[in-house]
Structure 1
Amino acid sequence: MKTKLLFILITLLSLSTYSQISFEKGYFVNNANKKTECLIKNMDWKNNPTTFEFKRTESSDIEIATIETVAEFGIYNISKYVRSTTKIDRSSKNIKYLTTNRNPEFTEETLFLKVLIEGQATLYSYIEPDLRRYFYSKDPSKIDQLIFKSYFVEGGNIAKNNRFRQQLFTDVNCDTFKKNRINNVSYTKSSLIDYFMDYNGCHSDTVVNLSKKRTGKAFNLTIRPRINSASVSIKNTTSSSKNFDFANETTFGIGAELEYILPFNKNKWSFIIEPTIQKYTSEETISISNVSGGSLRAEVKYNSIELPVSIRHYMFLTDNSKLFVNASFVFDFSSGSTIELKRSDNSTYDALPVKSGSNVGIGLGYKLYDKFSAELRYLTSRELTGTHPHWEVHYNSISLIVGYSLF
């Protein structure tokens, strides 16, 4: 049963990429400078795209546009990208790949740059995994990278080339700025946006802030009581006659889920930590001839705080309802737990130390109005005795979890 459930959940996770992402009103400009009104599939790109999907009308077939044929495209009131053949420095910020060269190492590439601030001076961004660069222009035909680079100096220390501040001082400055205004700018999206907004406000009333605004909440705190169907198996590595298989027990637990909604892909991904209190108590007796009294009883008292760390992906059904799937790595901290083996006269045959380990889980759930939720979660087997030389104890569970979001 658990194997089938795991297969179903993994299948649902693999299909989650087909969840709802809408086509929204937008446009693109081709190489002949012709503007086409259309509907663009809003992927809420985390990384700058090189292609996008569009439909000419609601009933039209989906087409694909590429960076080779499109000079500019945008989704109204959401995002705008312009094509530019420009120089970009791809020097890594990873300490393992830093060099002693303080100067940027430019290559000329054709990129879709995302417009963040548009005005007399325009700010752009370009993002790939492990790469984040900002560009600027005062003339759309000439877009340059704002230069920032980390590098090694003598003694193995790390220095920073903050050339972008000199670029701002020379090209994007205002007489009314205080002396230390530029020195306080950092090479981050928020700091550069603030600076370009101030500059454009100084020189012109016409400024457009196209930087991404989060829609919805960034954090959710949810109380999550649950019913667990749990079992324990005890295996003796030297004698199979001493193995125990406990029947499933219905137990209860409660957790508090703190969820951070990641700011890309239309709030469809989140990161979660969920401390949870759980208890399991059971006993089982087996007949065994080579133990005095002819029987052996195992008593398990397992108390712990689980700490699942999860990635969640939402699949929107309507504006108010959505499915979700979780993949979790679960840390477990046992307290006051015991596993004892006793003879029929109640004397102790063996006492096993409880050293709870970690395991992984996968869950499928439903959320309504961002308030009410329910989830079915399967956890893989968790070892409870560490590296005991003669005994292996495994804890298995499936949970039905309900939730109510406080905020």
Structure 2
Amino acid sequence: MKKPILLLVLTLFLSINCYSQVVFENGYFIDPTNKKTDCLIENLDWKNTPLNFRYKLSGSEDIITADLKAIKEFAITGESKYIRVPVKVDRSSKFIEEMSTEKNPIFKEETLLLKVLIEGKASLYIYDEGSLTRFFYKINDGEIKQLVYKSYLVNENSSVAKNNYFREQLFIDLKCDNILQREYENLNYDRRSLLKLFVKYNKCSDTNFTEFEKKEKKDLFNLTVRPRLNSSLLSMSSSNVDFYNVKFDSKSNIGVGLEAEFIFPFNRNKWALIVEPTYQYYKNEKTKETTSLLGGQVTAKVDYKSIELPIGLRHYFFLKNDSKIFINASYLADFALNSKIELFRKDGSSINTLDIKSRSTLALGVGGKLHDKYSIELRYIIDRSIVKDYIFVNSSFSTASLILGYSFF
């Protein structure tokens, strides 16, 4: 069962990559000679500052990759805008093992691609590169300057202090009667807090401004009930005792899970964290001939109930008609509930009872969703041992599942 299921998951994964819809939206770019080119730009809703972007010219289906080192500015109409400008930037680390003992920023001039968050009398920009996040600002047509925020080490105990000079910068440059002094003093160096202040200042100054920061999708959490039909295989083996070598026939059973899905608010909501407590029940028995016992026969009975807890990542591929396809991979922990495997001689007398305790494993899935309500998934749970406390017995338990889902939240 394992090889066909894995092959199916791989085939579907490759098919999804080939046929999932690529979203190109109206936009433009400006080259270093200030030539503006209207085009369709692939909207990836970048979390970090992009290194390139793909676009199509009007009337053409050819996809071209733009090198951002040769682009002065590009934008997706009504959604995002990036500008490439020379700025002074401090790259001091926030990690204690690499942290500087110098309080003041160490500026170096670089040409960076900044994302425009607000454009107006007071403009706000962000630069994201892995763990490095820096905010910049500009007043009217002045110089674009970094908002200074730096962690540094002090004294012999290497305690961490903060240089919050950005608050003073904004207190000086963004004064308005409607903004209280404590709002500057309590300001955090993060996107939400700075956006709120810049919006308030621009409104206070009665200027026209553009906010490129897209409002977060409200539906970033889904709760889905997911009944399923499982097909499970169990086998046991032992190099010492023959009667432990039992391979059970494939058995169908049912289960039900409650999935919590947390959608990340970037990359067009294509990524999600999934957590799904699931009840599963497997009951089976197998009789085989053996020369190790009087009567020449052993019967193994398994009664296995557990709560599975897969925690993983899901990636969506958006299609037309409010539908999408997804793939997911999860780390799966398993908590057995009063479960056991019993072995009996031909006359019904007991040989041994093995308590079931399962190892963790991985689960792979592929499926589809319609109208953000109805879903179907094919999932394969890779082999795991369910008698991990017994060194003389090996076991392998695997499950393929057909899962239906209804999102009620």
Whether these two folds match at TM > 0.5 is: yes
Of 47-56 and 235-244, the range deviating more from structure 2: 235-244
CA contact under 8 A between 2:241 and 2:292: conserved in structure 1?
A: no
1:23 counterpart = 2:24: yes
Name the SS for the 1:185 alignment partner. Answer: coil
Equivalent in the alignment of 1:400: 402
CA contact under 8 A between 1:293 and 1:343: conserved in structure 2?
A: yes
Of 212-221 and 128-137, the range deviating more from structure 2: 212-221
Kindly provide the CA deviation profile for residues 29-48 of structure 1, in whole angstroms up to 9, marking residues without a partner as x.
22222222221111111111
Q: Report the residue type matching 1:99 in the other structure.
A: S
Q: How does 1:87-102 map to 2 (within 5 A)?
A: 87-102=88-103
Distance 2:383 2:180 in 1: 62
Within the candidate set 374, 390, 393, 1:391 is matched to 393
Equivalent in the alignment of 2:253: 251
1:172 counterpart = 2:174: yes
Equivalent in the alignment of 2:200: 198
Name the SS for the 2:72 alignment partner. Answer: strand
Equivalent in the alignment of 2:120: 119
Q: How does 1:46-85 map to 2 (within 5 A)?
A: 46-85=47-86
CA contact under 8 A between 1:310 and 1:326: conserved in structure 2?
A: yes
Kindly provide the CA deviation profile for residues 148-189 of structure 1, in whole angstroms up to 9, marking residues without a partner as x.
122233323222221211111122222442221101210111
Distance 1:263 1:4 in 2: 35
How much does 1:289 deviate? 2.0
Identify if the C-alpha distance between structure 1 residues 192 and 36 changes in structure 2 by more than 3 Å, giving closer, same or farther.
same
Q: How does 1:129-144 map to 2 (within 5 A)?
A: 129-140=130-141, 142-144=143-145
Output the aligned Cα RMSD: 1.8
Equivalent in the alignment of 1:214: 216
Q: How does 1:338-357 map to 2 (within 5 A)?
A: 338-357=340-359
TM-score under structure 2 length normalisation: 0.94
Q: Report the residue type matching 1:75 in the other structure.
A: I
Q: How many residues align?
A: 407
Equivalent in the alignment of 1:108: 109
Name the SS for the 2:347 alignment partner. Answer: coil
How much does 1:91 deviate? 2.5
Name the SS for the 1:180 alignment partner. Answer: helix
Distance 1:145 1:178 in 2: 23
Identify if the C-alpha distance between structure 1 residues 240 and 146 changes in structure 2 by more than 3 Å, giving closer, same or farther.
farther
TM-score under structure 1 length normalisation: 0.95
Of 219-228 and 54-63, the range deviating more from structure 2: 54-63
Q: Report the residue type matching 1:69 in the other structure.
A: A
Distance 1:314 1:86 in 2: 37
CA contact under 8 A between 1:298 and 1:342: conserved in structure 2?
A: yes
Identify if the C-alpha distance between structure 1 residues 347 and 152 changes in structure 2 by more than 3 Å, giving closer, same or farther.
farther
Equivalent in the alignment of 1:145: 146
Identify if the C-alpha distance between structure 1 residues 58 and 5 changes in structure 2 by more than 3 Å, giving closer, same or farther.
farther
Name the SS for the 2:204 alignment partner. Answer: helix
Equivalent in the alignment of 1:4: 4
Identify if the C-alpha distance between structure 1 residues 225 and 174 changes in structure 2 by more than 3 Å, giving closer, same or farther.
same
Within the candidate set 361, 370, 373, 2:372 is matched to 370
Distance 1:350 1:58 in 2: 75
Of 382-391 and 395-404, the range deviating more from structure 2: 382-391
Percent sequence identity is: 45
Identify if the C-alpha distance between structure 1 residues 93 and 10 changes in structure 2 by more than 3 Å, giving closer, same or farther.
farther
CA contact under 8 A between 1:169 and 1:182: conserved in structure 2?
A: yes
CA contact under 8 A between 1:342 and 1:349: conserved in structure 2?
A: yes
How much does 1:312 deviate? 0.9
CA contact under 8 A between 2:93 and 2:100: conserved in structure 1?
A: no
Equivalent in the alignment of 1:229: 231
Distance 1:220 1:14 in 2: 26
Give unmatched runs, 5+ long, in structure 1: none
CA contact under 8 A between 1:237 and 1:392: conserved in structure 2?
A: no
Name the SS for the 1:45 alignment partner. Answer: coil
How much does 1:318 deviate? 0.6
